[in-house]
Amino acid sequence: MGLDIPDGTPNRGPGMMALCILLLVLTTFMTVIRVVSKVITKQSWWWDDWFALLSWPAEVVVISLLLAWITLGFGLHEKFIAIQNPSYLVQGAKYFYAAVLFFDTSICLPKISALFFYARVFNAPNKTLRVHLWILGALVAGWLLSAYFVTIWQCDPVAKAWDPTIPGKCVNTYAWYTATATISCAIDMWILIIPIPLIWRLNSSLRRRIYLLAAFLLTYSVIVVSIGRMIATTQLIPKVNEDETWWLPVYLYWAILEGSLSIISISVPNAIALVKHFQAPRKSSIESKTKLSKLTPGYVLSQSQNYASIHGGGTSISDASDNLELVQTRDGDVEMAPGNIRVKTNIHVH
């Protein structure tokens, strides 16, 4: 039996429900676009794709649990629910307990996907880049494992996490949430700035470099929401203990936005590749491939499972992904997109 909610009762549930449904549609749409783009453009699947796909079901579980909690009064004042059906508070807390585990997953897998994306785009030998990627990968994995551990055993006994009437003790929720949000935000910032020096050192016009920087920043725009969640954590978590079902929705607005926007943003390059695929004439694609086969002697086109590269004179061009790829060369930079390869070097085409 549901709650009897009179007209005019303060309720944040409908707003949360609308946001959840919108994000569910958008994340599903972008995930489908990613798959369709890979299939139609005939690009190889790599680790960034698999981690991006695994992010989606984790976010779906988070949203589904929140929608289920709304039917139990999530968004109403806690006292209002306690008067009508106190068991709803315990059941809702169980939903939240499970949702946090999947939320941690939904924001970490896109981070790992972004790291593999960088590894594929900037595939030229770069020891500094590899070190950054390995360190970040270890930090993300460590963050996720620690989040799992603390979330599962946040209380002793464990059941006290969803039933505060049980005797026992729990971790300091405010300190834990603040620490995890801050570290997650710092990792996002680090991931965001990785391509900046690589792009800025390209031998290209200032306007072109700014354009490329804007494109990469858009691809990982989740940093804006990550900062918002960190601020919301410091302001709202202390109030949650006073009235959980009323204040927690405000915090979770930022949380589910972060997970969903992570999934959406890492699939933006795939959406762009799909659009370019339909815009580029088939004839242009054939002519581009023909020109590449007639490069000046000394430049060899080699094909591997994941990469097609041109070697010689310090030049290395990658044509492995379904998005814009840039690799630093000695004489210039190279921009490539599926079905449309443009080379800017001193190589003469016969």
Break the chain into its structural domains and give their ranges: 13-274, 286-342
Q: Mean pLDDT throughout 63-87?
A: 92
Query: Residue 226 pLDDT > 50, yes or no?
Result: yes
pLDDT in tens, 28-71: 999 999 999 899 888 888 888 999 999 999 999 999 999 999 99
Lowest average pLDDT, out of 98-107, 180-189, 250-259, 268-277, goes to: 268-277
List the beta bridge partners of residue 327: 334
pTM above threshold 0.85: no
Q: What is the pLDDT of residue 281?
A: 61
> What pLDDT band is residue 304 in, cutting at 50, 70 and 90?
very low
Lowest mean pLDDT among 209-213, 228-232, 243-247: 209-213
- Mean pLDDT along residues 18-26: 95
**Selected residue with higher pLDDT from 127 and 292:** 127
Give pLDDT tens digits for 196-215.
Answer: 887 787 777 778 778 777 77
Q: Which residues of 12-51 are buried (b: 16+ CB within 10 A; e: fewer)?
A: bbeebbebbeebbeebeebbebbeebbeebebeebebbeb
Could you say which DSSP state residue 163 is in?
A: -
When pLDDT is averaged across residues 274-297 and rounded to a whole number, the result is 57
Range of lowest pLDDT (86-95, 97-106, 294-303): 294-303
Asked if the 13-274 domain carries CATH number 1.20.1070, the reply is: yes
